Homo-oligomer: A and B are copies of this chain.
């Protein structure tokens, strides 16, 4: 899907550098070799970009000396509009949740490992959607050990809150043991739920919460709509 040739994006980058005054008229640009290294590309690709700029009269090369800035571009590409993102706290206190399903089944391998269960143990699963101002921002799945928390599903359907449901099941307090994050492309199903186009960037988060004694009580996976969510971590 990358229609723009590499050399063109390099030419654009250098052109905007000149336009922004990073290089002035008469200045020598970095050598072709340096530019190639900076952009992680072959020298010939840089030459292709420079020759394009030379044709436009922006730079003029001198063999043995270097490439020099000839003039300012009359018009240059301006940066794309910066989008404003809703800032969501990473602590999990997101206003508005919608229950998609509450089920009970056998734990799969990754769930068993995360919750320190033996294969074959059953788990309660909470699938849901996180909302902010009515807009979907996250699609999550919380997995709980059924033996430890037999009544968690009832508590969840009442409160819709993981924290309060756990409290009602005797887990006074819990802490986040681990969190892993990565960026992915939205699957069709995820795109549907999060009102995104297929392939849009999403934040994929996997985490485990444990009670005060260190025993895991929840294994959560969340897919955030990348364009609508910024996770903020404050260490204090």
Residues of A participating in the B interface, judged by any CB pair closer than 8 Å: 1-4, 6, 9-10, 13, 37-42, 64, 73, 75, 78-80, 85, 87, 100-101, 129, 136, 175-185, 188-189, 191-193, 195, 197-203, 224, 226-227, 229-235
Contacts and interface: CB of A to CB of B under 8 A. Distances in A.
A56 to B, nearest CB: 14
Number of copies: 2
A225 to B, nearest CB: 8
A37 B231 CA distance: 27
A199 B184 CA distance: 11
Contacts of A201: 183-185, 201-202, 226
B178 A181 contact: no
A230 B180 CA distance: 6
Contacts of A183: 183-184, 201-203, 224, 226-227, 229
Given A1-B198, A73-B182, A40 B136 contact: yes
Given A181-B203, A199-B1, A203-B182, A193 B235 contact: no
Contacts of A180: 75, 87, 230-233
> A-B pairs with the 10 shortest C-beta distances?
A183-B226, A2-B198, A201-B201, A183-B201, A9-B188, A181-B231, A179-B233, A183-B183, A183-B203, A182-B230
A2 B197 contact: yes
B40 A179 contact: no
Contact of A203 (B101, B189, B203, B232): B203
Given A179-B232, A180-B231, A201-B226, A38 B100 contact: yes
Contacts of A203: 181-183, 203
6 contacts: A2-B199, A37-B100, A40-B193, A42-B64, A178-B235, A233-B233
A185 B226 CA distance: 9
A181 B229 CA distance: 8
Nearest to A186: B201
Contacts of A191: 2
A135 to B, nearest CB: 12
